[in-house]
Structure 1
């Protein structure tokens, strides 16, 4: 089955009809490009003008879908028109075919056609002048250039502008896509950061509340219940303050409810005292000088989360927190008794270790957590040099 020709564009149909009607109007009033005395007018019958006119008009239907085919057939038609009385509409439609061949043709054909038409213009100028040795012969080259070179050059300029505009549009779309990807990644990263902050700030207090509330409910001892309620109240107030601080950070407010300062290593003694109030036997050993703020916050959160995990999972015994600064890095180590228990003293989300690992990875450090003999050890190394902690 033969392939069907593509349907012509409606603008091409309008151009073809306009050229055909214009040519018929010129033919009807007897206005031709040449007279019967012109030696080129081999066929001086008036009806012969209509054949190239109709062929060229049909080629206009293919100017966008089959530009090369339309130009080849149109070239044969304009050549045949040279041997008739000639119709100006046929010449005008042929120039449009040359223009469309450059504009809608393949890139290789569009590059070659201006050179071909330029060569034809040169030949059409030099050969007649050499043959006849009269200045009027130069007009032939001018006519060839006007009919072929000018529309080809115009099509090339328009095509370049169109390709440039298309390339700019594609670059704009790619830039917008990259910006959207960056925005999405920034949103995901910010959500992860907020999730880590929320988990690390609140988990410690809520775990203590859950453990002591269980003790208050299970033991029929007024003093024990009172002590447990005191710890619950203390952790509730501290957790509420931390929540307000986080909300203040998210809102970036500057009013009376402005957030408190970001936790630093100076707050570790208070953090350890809070853990002791929750029933943990904790010792703190720190010999840290000044470190960058991101490293300081990460170290504080690692110790805080480690104490929270010890409160929920550790066996009875001493918990050690040690911080040391050596070889351009801050070394954080937390150990707690490790053994088999019936289950955690308070439920957890399982995101604590992942959050600590993410903090360390963002700073370019190393992180390890796991059993070490009879202990559970959390060990993080955080670079404190300017290039590593930026």
Structure 2
């Protein structure tokens, strides 16, 4: 089955009809490109100009869908028109075919056509002057350039502008896509940061509340219940205060600042005292100098989460918290007796180790947690300067 020709664009139909009607008007009033005694005109009948006119108008229907075919047929048609008295409308439509072949044709055709038409223009200028030895021969070159090279060069310029605009549009879309990806990643990173802060700030207090409330409910001793309720109240108040600070960050909108009272290593003693009040036998050993604020926050949160895990999982015995600064890194190590309980003393989400590992990784440090003989050891190495972890 023969392939059907593509449907012409509506603008091409308008151009074809306009060229055909213009040529009919010129033919009707008797305006031709050449006089009857012109030696190149082999057919003097006026109606002969209508045949190239109609064919050229038909080529205009293919200017966008089949530009190469339209240009080839149009070139043959223009040659045939030169054998008649000629129609200006046929010549004008041919220039449009040259323009369309460069604009809508393949990239190779768009490069070749301006060079070919330029070469034809040069030949049409030099050859008549050399053959006739008269300056009037330049008019033939000028006319040839106006019909062939000028529309080809115009099409090349327009095509370059169109391709440049398309490239800029694609670049803008890619930039917008990258910006959206960056925004999504920033939102995800901010959510992860908030999740770590929420877990580290609240989990310690809620674990203590769960453990002491269990003791108050299971032991029928008024003094034990009062002591448990006092610890529960203290942890509830502290947890509520930290929750309010975190909510303040969420409402801030900028999302680029830490809580109003960012924990520091100076607060480790208070943190350890709270763990002791919750029933842990904690020994604190610190040896460090001035530490950057991000490292201080990460070390504090790692110790806090380790004590929370020890409160929930560790067996009886001493919990040791040791911080030591060596060269350009801060070593954080927390050890606790390895527990043998069938279930933890308080429920957990299992996100504590993940959060500690993320905090160390964000600073370019290392993190490890696991059983070390009879102990459960948590160790983090936090660089004090960029690149110091290696």
| TM-score, with length taken from structure 1 | 0.97
**Correspondences of 1:189-338 after superposition (within 5 Å):** 189-252=189-252, 260-338=260-338
Aligned to 1:383: 383
**Correspondences of 1:65-104 after superposition (within 5 Å):** 65-104=65-104
Aligned to 1:161: 161
Aligned to 2:132: 132
Paired residue secondary structure (1:135): coil
Using the alignment, how far apart are the partners of 1:151 and 1:176 within structure 2?
37
Quick one: structure 1 residues 253 and 103, their matched pair in 2 at CA, closer, same or farther if it must change by over 3 Å? closer
User: 1:28-55: CA deviations, max 9, x gaps?
Assistant: 1111111111111111111210111011
5+ residue gaps, structure 2, are none
- Range 259-268 or range 75-84, more displaced: 259-268
User: 1:103-157: CA deviations, max 9, x gaps?
Assistant: 1111111011111101101111111111122222211111100000110111111
Deviation at 1:248, TM superposition (A): 1.9
Using the alignment, how far apart are the partners of 1:55 and 1:171 within structure 2?
42
Deviation at 1:260, TM superposition (A): 3.4
Deviation at 1:252, TM superposition (A): 3.1
Paired residue secondary structure (1:33): coil
Contact 2:271 2:304 in 1 (8 A): yes
Deviation at 1:171, TM superposition (A): 0.9
Using the alignment, how far apart are the partners of 1:261 and 1:223 within structure 2?
34
Paired residue secondary structure (1:84): coil
Deviation at 1:217, TM superposition (A): 1.2
User: 1:223-249: CA deviations, max 9, x gaps?
Assistant: 111111000000000101111111222
Residue 148 (structure 1) aligned with residue 144 (structure 2): no
Number of residue pairs matched by the alignment: 386
Using the alignment, how far apart are the partners of 2:377 and 2:109 within structure 1?
72
**Correspondences of 1:334-345 after superposition (within 5 Å):** 334-345=334-345
Deviation at 1:167, TM superposition (A): 1.0
